[in-house]
Structure 1
């Protein structure tokens, strides 16, 4: 189906309006979003994406609508996996909690721009060279294999090549100046870590696009569907980050599910490439008669795999324990960092979560304890937080007593 320029224009205006609304009404004034705020706005953005899909189904037909939903669900799942990397980057750069929204929104805007470029480049290549389907399929199969490798925080270093290059070429500071990208240090203009973390997320997102764009082209070659499914999967990602805070580590089987989905789509692409084959060294340049995978089957497989892997993660003892371990380390470091946040409600929230995670680790049985390799270190972190909190409380009490006298 050919989409008219008017529909393209209205869609682009709506997406830009949503991004502008997000910035001026939520991100411009630095604050820590509450769980309720994140849940409401995340639900709203998902609702908008689903309504758009229903409209595509009605006006574009069953095939176009099914392709949109398959693409949207796949891209959304890949985006959730990417949030874990964003979390590591912001933790590495010690981004103040109040300013994390701005960093995430930048990441979304940069991602949208970069992926739009990849989408039109991919479309041009597909329309010119049928063998590109082989290449896309191979990329997805390799990516699926890489996802099966064990991942740690060290495997997602925030100090990527763009950050190292920026530090080498420009004068940079080690401290934040609010949400400013540049500041004055010793009379010289210098880049702040706020700009560096944006560079890190932008550079990382280019790598993400190399996986996600071939994946969605494996489900549809309709550029309008590819663009809108990608765009709507990114909108609301900022709110989803705060909504899933503390649960990202719990999705321990998500990478396996995504690996299965990418391998499935990669196989679908290669089958399609064989069907459209014109390479002389394959079947003498003739088409190969193979069964192709329908969009309906793709949508069913994607939903089924995600449902199984998410439920398996949520009900897994290993998942709960791994989440507790990650929360203890991350929350302790954040609580002990005086520059992490000035919001007392946020400090109280991470302290309570730290307590819950500590109690979970302590209550584990002998078999589950084997998962926790560094329990003494984690308990020491907890003790330091409790000591810091007690000292702060005593200091506040003394201050109040002096004020009263």
Structure 2
């Protein structure tokens, strides 16, 4: 079992909070549309931070725990890319101005970290008290994988989000973004801006992703510290990754399929682990093997997606949904697609 002192926990949280504060300060100091070069630099920075942390952690805690961290980081990073699809849909649906997208993403990441920290504490406590929680988490991931695969070519309906509909019904909303403010006084009454509604939409989507991602990462490690750091470092780079790859997301046409395979695999791993705690003859899947499977699935998914869009430029990726949407995407007409320029 991994022993982490209170001092190490506080230091780790302090570093993560400092990085978030830096991100938030940049967004607040000079609202602007983030360009490709800036997004690339920040993406490289956050990936480097995550790798350096993993290497230092591995040197101190041992190879096995280090492998668990990198496996968890890869799982969370791949799931965060699917999260980006939903962010793109939300930004497009509510027509968020480019100069305010940085702020929206930073707040979204903060909310995601808070929600996942809560789920990590709850999940770790339940797993330590009740062995059958491994079975429940495993079945949840398998069900999620099946639903994601069934609706892999659909987009979630943001406007049908319960919290978004309730907020619009209860609170008066302005027609414009009013300089990126969340609330404003107009005609003698306090009103929220569309940016407030966007944050509600992103926060509620973060909640749904946390319900899947936390059991998924617990499938590769039972250590709460590793689960937290893998989530935190994957999410810290999400803002920069959004601006870097939002133009390429449409090309990852098989991402939802690949993620459904990863989630199903981890779900089976959790079910087998539960079975092994009861019957010694039930096999377990080693973390190193899990890491290999995750890397291979993500690599094949990416290569196959790019090959598909090269052959068929009209093909468009979707984040997938856990239930059928009211207005599923229509099939593209049978006509010769224009060549990619």
TM-score norm. by structure 2 comes to: 0.91
Residue 169 of structure 1: how far off its partner (Å) = 1.5
Q: Distance in 1 between matches of 2:168 and 2:221?
A: 41
Runs of 5+ unmatched residues, structure 1: 278-286, 326-370, 380-405
**More helix by percentage:** 1
What is residue 314 of structure 2 aligned with on the other side? 321
How many Å separate the matches in 2 of 1:114 and 1:223? 14
Relative to structure 1, the CA distance from residue 136 to residue 171 in structure 2 (aligned partners, 3 Å threshold; closer, same or farther) is: same
Higher relative contact order (CA 8 A, sep 6+): 2
Corresponding residue number in structure 2 for 1:281: none
C-alpha change, 1:169 and 1:374, in structure 2 (3 Å) is farther
Structure 1: how far apart are the matches of 2:27 and 2:169?
Answer: 34
Structure-2 residue corresponding to 1:98: 99
Note if contact 2:249-2:317 (Cα within 8 Å) is conserved in structure 1. no
- State the shift of 1:26 in Å: 4.0
- 8 Å Cα contact 2:138-2:268 kept in structure 1: yes
SS at match of 1:95: coil
Q: Deviations over 1:341-399 (max 9, x none)?
A: xxxxxxxxxxxxxxxxxxxxxxxxxxxxxx742979x99xxxxxxxxxxxxxxxxxxxx
Equivalent position of 1:112 in the other structure: 113
Q: In structure 1, the residue corresponding to 2:185 is in which secondary structure? A: strand
Tell me the residue number matched to 1:253.
Answer: 254
Matches within 5 A, 1:56-205: 56-151=57-152, 154-205=155-206
The answer to whether the Cα contact below 8 Å between 1:42 and 1:236 also exists between their aligned partners in 2 is yes
Larger CA deviation: 240-249 vs 149-158: 149-158
Whether the 8 Å contact between 2:39 and 2:244 is mirrored in structure 1 is: yes
In the other structure, the counterpart of 2:287 is 295
Contact 1:252–1:319, Cα closer than 8 Å, also in 2: no
Say if 1:249 and 1:319, in contact at 8 Å, map to a contact too.
no
The residue that corresponds to 1:24 in the other structure is 25
1:119, CA displacement in angstroms? 0.2
**Following TM superposition, by how much is the alpha carbon of 1:92 offset from its aligned partner in structure 2, in angstroms?**
0.7
CA RMSD between the two structures: 2.0
- The match for 2:237 is 236
Shift of the alpha carbon at 1:288? 4.9
How many angstroms does 1:4 deviate by? 1.0
1:338 corresponds in structure 2 to none
Report SS of the residue matched to 1:3.
coil
Report how far residue 185 of structure 1 moved: 2.6
Distance change in 2, residues 1:167/1:94 (3 Å): same
How far apart, CA to CA, are the structure 2 residues paired with 1:204 and 1:374? 34
Partners in 2 of 1:137 and 1:179 — Cα distance? 42
May I ask how many residue pairs the two structures share in their alignment? 324
Q: CA deviation at 1:152?
A: 5.4
Contact 2:252 2:317 in 1 (8 A): no
Q: Given the superposition, is the C-alpha separation of residues 43 and 291 from structure 1 closer, same or farther in structure 2, using an over 3 Å criterion? A: same
- 2:42 is matched with 41
SS in structure 2 at match of 1:246? coil
Give how far 1:154 is off.
Answer: 4.9
Task: Give the aligned partner of residue 277 of structure 2.
Answer: 276
Determine the structure 1 residue equivalent to 2:322: none
Q: Structure 1 pair 310/262, CA: closer, same or farther in 2 (3 Å)? A: same
Tell me, yes or no, if the aligned pair for 2:153 and 2:317 is still in contact at 8 Å.
no
Give the unaligned 5+ runs of structure 2. Answer: 319-330
